[in-house]
Amino acid sequence: MKQNIKNTLAVTALILGGSLFSIHSQAALVGIDGSSSIGTSGATITGTDLSNPGFITIVLPVYGINTGDYSDFVTGTVFSLAGPLNLSDISSWNIVGDATLQGSYTATELAIISQSADFLNVFTRGIYYPGNQVGTQVGGCATGGNSCDNTDTSLRWSFTKTGDSVSASGTLASPAIPLTSVPEPGSLALLAIGLTGLVARSRRRSANQIAA
């Protein structure tokens, strides 16, 4: 009798354990891993130039080349921003597109990478809240009984003013690309100058050796 009770308890424990494991597996959350380039039809500003842009209105922002968990986004899908964008209002940089399909993005950090009359590079970081189209590709965060988790994400915008026209583009990346990993244009220019100097010195050294 005691043995039967032990066997019954053991079987019950296995069943409960299996059920808990199944529930845990189905409820697991996986972070988004992917990126999306953002194209636009340009932008308008209320200020004098990009050194003092005032309010920036993006014209027809669309998802461009999409990779990873964003790969099921249809290229050319138009989304909307909370803007007009304002450097003094971080909430204006949020993506409030189709939250059911693509999802939404809430910025919590904003930094100006570089700014001049003709150029403006803005880095934002926040949380991307996935919609139904995120991570549905093979092996994505929404497959295998998992769900895509809200993910630390970065969104960088670049603006260029030529005459009276302003162009704009962006890059969405999950997980976020830290600001320290984004090279500033000035740093790239210094690197290029340094490499040019090294090449010139190398050529002079080679010429001297040949002459000797």
Instruction: Assess contact for 93 and 125: CB atoms under 8 A.
Output: no
Q: Let me know whether 187 and 95 are in one domain.
A: yes
Note whether residue 204 is domain-resident: no
pLDDT value, residue 187 = 45
Contact 33, 44 (CB under 8 A): no
Residue 201 within a domain? no
Same domain flag for 85 and 163: yes
The answer to the question of residue 59 being in a domain is yes
Residues 95 and 152 in one domain: yes
Residue 144 lies in a domain: yes
Tell me, yes or no, whether 205 lies in a domain.
no
Is there a single domain that holds both residue 185 and residue 95?
Answer: yes
Containing structural domain, residue 84: 32-196
At residue 165, the 3 state secondary structure works out as strand
pLDDT in tens, the chain (212 residues): 555 555 554 544 444 444 444 444 455 799 999 999 999 999 999 999 999 999 999 999 999 999 999 999 989 999 999 989 999 999 999 999 788 899 999 999 999 999 999 999 999 999 999 999 999 999 999 998 899 999 999 999 999 999 999 999 999 999 999 988 555 554 444 444 444 444 444 445 544 555 55
Both 21 and 37 in a single domain?
no
Whole-prediction pTM value? 0.73
Taking CA atoms, 101 is separated from 76, 93, 132, 209, in Å, by 14, 19, 5, 66
pLDDT of residue 144: 87
The pairing of strands 165-174 and 147-149 is unpaired
Total count of domains within the chain? 2
Does residue 48 fall inside a structural domain?
A: yes
